[in-house]
Structure 1
C-alpha cells in the first residue's frame, strides 16, 4: 500500500510522465498504485491549472486573478466528469477490459500534461502582457496557447490508450480507435463550451468584475468576433 509523502512527491509525477511515459502507461495497464497516481495527477494538474488561471486573470485585476485561478481547474475537472463515463462504457462495448479508474488515470495524465505545458507557456503570456495591450489580442493568444497545450495532452492520451487498452487486447481494437477519435472531438467541444459557460477568465476592461457572465452566444462565434476585431482593419 502506498504511503503518501507530500506535495513534492505528487508534483514529481510530472517528471515521470515526461521522461518515461511508456513505463507510466504500463503501470496503469497493470493497475499499479492507481489510486495514488490519480491523487497525484489530480493535485498536480489542479496546482498548475490554478497558476495559469492566475496568469490569465493578471491582465485585468486581483479579483480576476483569484477567480480565474479557481475556475480553470474546475473547468477541466467538470469536463473530465462529463466525458469520462462515455469513453469508459463505449470502450467496454467494443471489448476493452479497462476499469473506470484506469480511464480516469489516463485522462488525468493528459490533463496534467496540458496543465504543465500551459504553465511552461505562461512566460510568453506575461511577456505580451507587459509589452503590449489589447483585450482581443490576449483572448486569441490564450486560445492559441490552449490549443497547443490541449493538442499535446491529447497526444499523450492517445499514446496512453494505445499502450494500456490496446496492448494486449485485439478484440474490437479498430472500433475503439475510431471511437477514441470521436471522443477526442467530444472532449474538445465540451471543454470549449464549458469554458464559455464559466467565462470570464480574463475580463473585458470595459466591464466590471464578475465571477460568471450571463449565458449567451458561444465560444466559436466569440473567437470569430475577436479575429474580426483584431484584423478587421488590416484585411
Structure 2
C-alpha cells in the first residue's frame, strides 16, 4: 500500500479497539448493521441497546465522543430526506405538532433517522479506530476483488491532493475579489467544480500511464 497516509477521521490511540484486527472490525460492523436493518422499526428498546453498545465501544476506544459527534454532519442529507417523508408519503394521516402528516411516512422517517444514525456512528467509530491502510489490508484479507481495493487505495492517497487543489482554487477566486454570497454565484462555483473534476481526471490519467510504464499489469507489486 506504500507509505502511510493518515486521515482526518482517524484518532490515534492504543486501545484494545485500535489494536483489533481490521478484518474482524469490518465483519463486526457488517454484522451489527445487518442486525440494525433487520430490527422492526417499532422496537425502540432494541435501538437503545444498540446505541449503548456503540457508546461502550467508544468508551473502550478512548476516542472522545465529541470527536465522533462532530463528524456526523455527513448524515445531514439523510435527515433532510427523513423530514420530508411524512409530508410526501401517502396513506393514513395523523397530526404531529398541529401538522397533518402521513402516518406511514412518519414511521418510515423515524426509522430512517434511527437506523441511519446508528450506522453512521458505528462507521465513524470504525474509521476513528482504524488506519485507512489497515482497512484496505483487512478488505484484502476478506477476499475483496483486488482492483476494488486498489481503487479505494488510490482514493485515500489522492483525497488530500484533490482537497488541496480545491483549496487553491478557492484562494485564487477570493484573491480576485470573488465571494459566493447568493444563488447568482452558483454558476461560477459549478464551473470551478467542473474544472476540478477535469484536473483530477487528467491527474488520474497521468498516474495510470506512469504505472503502465513501470510494468503495472492490474496487480500491485508485493510488499
TM-score normalised by length of structure 1:
0.30
TM-score normalised by length of structure 2:
0.31
Rg (Cα) greater in structure: 2
